[in-house]
Amino acid sequence: MTLSNVDITSFNQIEIDFYFYVSSMENGEDFWLRYFDGLNWTTVDSWISGDNINNNTFYNATVFLNSSQYNFATNAGFRFQIDASNRTDYIYIDQVTITGTSGSQAKNPTNMLVEIESQISDLNKNILLYPNPVKDDILNIEMLDVKQFSYKITNITGRTIMNGNSQGVINVSNLKSGMYFIEIKIEDETIIKRFIRE
């Protein structure tokens, strides 16, 4: 995934923030964030399966580039690139935000990787979502001792995409590829789960 021909010469720092989900990666396989300085591509950060990332896990990463380390060009580029052994290895990337700052607005340039917890409550452990990622049109939800529930599906920015009542089968054919959150309401408790729509 590549963004090309971006003029960043007016900034002295670039912050790249994004969310991602790891699926079916073998240990040692990795993916990189790369930067194009007008002449060459350079790897600015990398994440390795079995080392600092794991399958079936959501992450939020923040990477900083400073003009003192990289040439900020008029035709700069950014690229996410995966090193995978076959076509069933996936990194799902969502909500990429690239922010340029200059002068006193620049932050302490410390790259960060945060695992997003999926366990919200004890009840959450008894909920099964499958398949995840959703490859076809149906998301199944199984819960102990619960036959019907209300739900709301939001995208990663918090906008409601779908809502309704279900007995465990939800048609998500209208969802575009990406990461989503489903809020399941059971009596006085709300459980939040994340899923991927391929």
By three-state DSSP, how is residue 22 classified?
strand
Do both 138 and 186 map to the same domain?
Answer: yes
- Same domain, residue pair 103 and 63: yes
Q: Which of 81, 116, 151 is the endpoint of a domain?
A: 116
Q: Which CATH number fits the domain that encloses residue 184?
A: 2.60.40.3080
Number of domains the chain is built from:
2
* pLDDT tens for the chain, residues 1 to 198: 899 999 999 999 999 999 998 888 889 999 999 999 999 999 999 999 989 998 888 889 999 999 999 999 999 999 999 987 777 788 888 889 999 998 766 666 788 888 875 433 445 557 888 998 898 899 999 887 778 889 999 987 778 999 999 999 999 999 998 889 998 887 777 787 889 998
Same domain flag for 16 and 95? yes
Domain residues for the domain of 104 are 2-116
Is the CB of residue 86 less than 8 Å from the CB of residue 55? no
Instruction: Tell whether 191 and 110 lie within a shared domain.
Output: no
Residues 110 and 137 in one domain: no
